[in-house]
Structures are given as structure tokens and as C-alpha cells.
Structure 1
Amino acid sequence: MDAGAITDVAGLEVGHFSDPRRPTGCSVVIAREGAVAGVDVRGAAPGTRETDLLDPTHLVPHVHAIMLAGGSAWGLDAASGAMRWLEEHGIGMDVGAGLVPLVPAAVLFDLHVGDPAVRPDAQAGYAACVAASRQRPAEGNVGAGSGATVGKLFGPELAMKSGIGTASVRLGEVTVGALVACNAVGDVVDPANGQTVAGARTADGRALRHCTAAMLRGEALHPLLAGTNTTIGVVATDAPLTKAEAKRLATTAHDGLARTINPVHTMMDGDTLFALTTGKAARSPGMVVLAVMAAEAVARATLRAARTARGISTSNGLVLPAWDGLDQS
């Protein structure tokens, strides 16, 4: 069954840049005509840019793109490249003296996957914009998902490869789509059956450990630095919304992460979701229905982030299998 994509939402384009030197990159969601936006940060160790302007009480009415990137805080520079591309294409807020493109951003930590000196920069963000289109975006080991991993509670050497995924849900004339780069410290779980899809492996590396069960058995966790994980994403709709409603949509979209990541929103994750609305649909089905659609789209996209990933071996000795490379019992 076609899972759909965030680009099913009218008015949005998506582009990836994947760095050929090591697994890292960035992904951009562009709204050429501007979009009302909100954000909700649930993880305790976020890396973000320009999120304050999304507060419903603040002045700016629209943003022009959202940047998702690897590279930890270094990756926030990718948003500068997106600003340059948008300005060159006549996109931005008119401030009289010129156009100022508004590009909120969030990053995930992938510096342990290969050479940490290689990370997304402004040129990477620019390249992602050049690649942007209305086509269904690639998934798995691309863009912000290039260096994404999951299941690090028992050590990065027992983690697994994840990536970036997309999905959409449609009801009548309204669409809600999501793009999620999953780099969680916990496991990815299929909400349809409760089974772990990807996550921490057993000591021999051959099977899934199942984090919750292992922790409840009292197994010791690996010491981890806060912020060295994080799931980031965008949920978008064409239903007309206010800034306050966009903020609420971002909040309820986190329910989708809670269905598919276990544990989620930890002290070691900086889980952040942006919400966008292009307002292209004639009417909204109401916030309750949109919240259900948003959570479902995010859950499906997160699951696809794990299931479209491919296993890799890195230059610094990590062997990271994907979901289909292990005993799933």
C-alpha cells in the first residue's frame, strides 16, 4: 500500500543533500508561498534555530522552509544555505530593504557515525534546496537520515541503522503529511503489533534486545551524553490554521512518536516536531480530526524511517545493520 508522502500536501517541496564523504546530510521542506508554522520540543536536549518566532504570540506570520540536518549543532548552518537559495529565488519576508527568508531548523546528533569533522554546512543546505521538488522524496539513508541510528541505550556499537521516512493521510479534501528523521536512543516499534522493528541489539549483536524489557530486568545502561540522539521532523497540512492551531498540531503530532519509539522524549533526545500549513484546502475538518491525522502520519513516517534504512559499516569501525538484517524473534 502506498504510504503517501509529505509532498502530497499542496504547496510543499522536499529536497535532500547526502554527503558522499560520510553518512550525514540535511533535508529541507520548502513552502515557496509561505506557511503558517508551529513547533513543539519534547526531548530534553534539542538543537534548534529560529523556533522562538513560531510562538503564537510573536509577530512573524509565515516561514518559508524548515531545515532538518545531521551534524549536531554544526548542522544548524545548513539553514543559512537555504536562506541564500530562497533569497536568490525571490522568496522571503519583505522588510522594505529586501527579502528575509525565514528558515527554522532542528538537528540530530550523528557525529559518531564516521568522521565527525564532516557535517552539513551552508553549502549542504543550499544543495538540498536545489534538489527540492514536488516528487515523493527518497527515504532511508538520505538527507538528515544519512547518519541516523536507533537503539543506543546499551552502547553505540549495539545500535542499528535508521533513516528518514515520509507518509501522509488524506480525509476528503484535506491531507496531512509527515517527514521524520529518526535518530532515537530507544527502539522503533510497530504500533500495529507492538513488535520492535529496530533498536538495541543483544550482546552478540545478532538479535534485538527489546529495550523496555531489558531495562525492567535491570540491565545496566551504557553511559550516554545528553543530546547524542534526537528524532526531528515536520508534519504538514493544507487545512487552514492559525499559528496557535499550528502549535497545537505540532504538540499532538508527538503522539505519533510515542507510538513508535520506546522510550521517547528522554533526557538524551532532543525530539522536535515542526508543523506547517499551506492553507490550500477550503476548510479544516477540525483540530481533533487533524490531531488524529497528524499523529498517524508521524507514526507511519517514523516506522518507514526504520524500515527503509540500509545497514552500513563506518570508517571508525561501527557495524550498523538495518531492520531486515537481524533475527526479529
Structure 2
Amino acid sequence: MKNLLTDIAGVRVGHADDAALASGVTAILFDKPAVASVDIRGGGPGTRDSSLLDPVNTVDAIHGLALSGGSAFGLEAGGGVQAWLAEQGRGFQIGAAMIPIVPGAILFDLINGGDKDWGRFPPYRDLGYAAAANATDSFALGSVGAGMGATTVNLKGGLGSASAVTPSGVRVAALAAVNAVGSITMGDSTHFWAAAFEQNNEFGGRGFPRVMMPDMHALRIKGGPAATSIENTTLAVVVTDAILTKAQAQRLAMMAQTGFAHAIYPVHAPLDGDIVFAAATGEKAIDPVVGLTELGMIAGNVIARAIARGVYEASALPFAGALPSWRDRFAK
């Protein structure tokens, strides 16, 4: 186990990003079509093909997912991932047509100091293609891919991942691109809200503070009380090797959203676009009630851990006025 999303067999992840742009794309690819659904809680989401994932709709499996910076411009990343998959002959065959199904979601990183003067067409389709081409079973965390330009209210955001195994041997893993309106740490302290779920010091081992200070529970959001623009979003993907129906995958995504509440304060705000994609590769049977409940519980835990790791592993952007990283502030 690498403590990564790719601990689920048949899943690969790739990044492509541009340091000058201060933005990027992360592609999640499935060796075989995966049953998938989605749960959206934030008040300002931006998605591609999310309606396909409703259990009442016909498409019951996907070939990949695209997570991107760039706000609405970044929705083109899914087309790049789709193009790469099509070149590999992967997708649903409909007559002579090959159609890879690649839902996706975006986060806002347009005012983080990077050069967004890209001319007529944004670069996200090409970045999506490159991210798919780069996909392997091992990948970097922090300020990479969709997490390149991500921020939180007080620290640089980034891309994190974590994995776990249920007592019955079912694997579940998560990946998160953390660009929250709120905080991942308790106030200005070194302590992560997700401390209760940390494994093996994966985000510094700082645990809980000895005393909870009043300012830790104060409202701290980007833009402060005058915040008016949608500049945020945490994007998460949870994957399991369990056998799930599309409806069960949606329930898994809903339960996994608990991890956002464990790790981000406040969460699911009007200015966030928080979303969880859930996918199942269909290798191991589970009980449809107790087994799915346990799986959803652990999925929430790994999402909380992935969110904290995304901030812990991030590096500050090299621009004047850029937010510090957690390591800049506390790992000295």
C-alpha cells in the first residue's frame, strides 16, 4: 500500500501543470470501465457530465475523471483526457464511434498570481491530454496537477491522497484537490482538523492542541465578511475495489462527504463547489447494508486524510503575496 488512490488495482493517476500559469490538471484513469456516481454539496460547483452519474440515467460506467484548475475554462480538460483514451481505443463502442466517458470538475485558481493571459483558447484541453498520458500507479502530492494553484483561507492548498483496507479486506482510497474557502488547520495553529484520522504521521503527526482557543472556531474564509465571488472548491474522488451498483456508488459518495466536515472548517459554503466522485472497480462483494455502511465510514476517513495531506504536502507559489505553505509556517 502506497497510501495513494492507485492502491486500488486498475487505477492510474497523472498530472500536468504549468508553473507560470499556476494551474494544472489531474487525470484519473480506469483500466476497465468503473461503476460511478457523484455527490455535490458546495454552493458553486462546476462539472462536466455529472448528470450521467445519476443512478436514474443510462450510463453506468466511466473510463476516467478529470480534475482541473481554471474555473469554467478548465472544463475543457475532460476533452483532453477523452482524446487520449480514444487514441488508445478505450471507450464505449457505438457503431464505428468510440466514446470514452470522462466526467470532471473544476476549481477556481484564476487570481492566484499566475499568468492567465493564454490568448484565444485556454490550455486545459492540452493539459488534460498530457495528464492522461502521464498516468501511472504512482504520483506526486502537493502543488501538482489540479492542486498546483489551489489555496485555502490561510495556507497554500494542494493535492492529497490516502487509502485504507476494511477488516474484510476491501480497499478504499481517496484523492482530493484542496481549494477550500475555509481552513484545513485549527485557526493559525499547526494542528489539522483531520487529526483524529491521521495514520502514521502522514500529515506531520501534530495531533490535537492541548487547549482549543476561541479563535479556532471563528469564521475565517477567503475574502472575509465581504466575500462575494466563487473562488473555491475541494474536489475529491473515492475509489473502492468493492462490487457496487450505481445507486450504491452514489450512497458511498454521500457518506464520503463526511470527510469534508472532518477536515475543513467551514465546509459546503455558498462559495464552495465541493464534490465527491465515487467509483467501484467491482472485485469484491460486500453486504449491501452493513458492508456499505462500513465502507462509507472509512471512505469519509480517507477523504479527511487526503485533504489534510494535500495541504501538508503543498509548496507555496513563487509570486509576491502568495500564501505560505504549511511547511513554510510550521516545519522549521
Partner of 2:195: 192
Give the 5 Å matches for 1:36-55: 36-55=35-54
Task: Check 1:258–1:69 CA distance in 2 against 1; reply closer, same or farther (3 A cut).
Answer: same
Deviations 1:121-174 (A, max 9, x none): 211100001100122x210010000000001xxxxxxx3211000000112431
Deviations 1:20-49 (A, max 9, x none): 322110001101310000101100000101
CA distance in 1, matches of 2:134, 2:214: 38
Partner of 1:175: 171
Task: Check 1:251–1:226 CA distance in 2 against 1; reply closer, same or farther (3 A cut).
Answer: farther
CA distance in 1, matches of 2:36, 2:7: 18
Give the 5 Å matches for 1:25-40: 25-40=24-39
Give the 5 Å matches for 1:48-87: 48-87=47-86
Give the 5 Å matches for 1:1-329: 4-113=3-112, 114-118=114-118, 120-135=123-138, 137-151=139-153, 159-171=154-166, 172-189=168-185, 190=192, 191-192=194-195, 213-215=217-219, 221-283=224-286, 286-314=291-319, 317-326=320-329
User: Size of the alignment, in residue pairs?
Assistant: 303
For residue 280 of structure 2, what is the amino acid of its counterpart?
A: T
SS in structure 1 opposite 2:282?
coil
Task: Check 1:144–1:321 CA distance in 2 against 1; reply closer, same or farther (3 A cut).
Answer: same
CA distance in 1, matches of 2:98, 2:116: 34
CA distance in 2, matches of 1:78, 1:245: 28
Deviations 1:41-63 (A, max 9, x none): 10000010100010001001111
Task: Tell me by how many angstroms 1:120 deviates.
Answer: 4.4
CA distance in 2, matches of 1:210, 1:265: 22
For residue 66 of structure 2, what is the amino acid of its counterpart?
A: M
CA distance in 2, matches of 1:16, 1:321: 22
Task: Tell me by how many angstroms 1:97 deviates.
Answer: 2.6
For residue 314 of structure 2, what is the amino acid of its counterpart?
A: A
Q: Is residue 69–residue 147 contact of structure 2 (8 Å, CA) maintained in 1? A: yes
Identity value in percent: 42
- Give ranges in structure 1 of 5+ residues lacking alignment: 152-158, 198-208
SS in structure 2 opposite 1:77?
helix
Task: Tell me by how many angstroms 1:108 deviates.
Answer: 0.3
- Alpha-carbon RMSD: 2.4
SS in structure 1 opposite 2:218?
helix
- Give ranges in structure 2 of 5+ residues lacking alignment: 186-191, 198-202, 204-212
CA distance in 1, matches of 2:150, 2:98: 34
For residue 275 of structure 1, what is the amino acid of its counterpart?
A: A
Q: Is residue 219–residue 266 contact of structure 2 (8 Å, CA) maintained in 1? A: no
For residue 152 of structure 2, what is the amino acid of its counterpart?
A: V
For residue 180 of structure 2, what is the amino acid of its counterpart?
A: A
CA distance in 2, matches of 1:34, 1:91: 9
Task: Tell me by how many angstroms 1:282 deviates.
Answer: 4.6
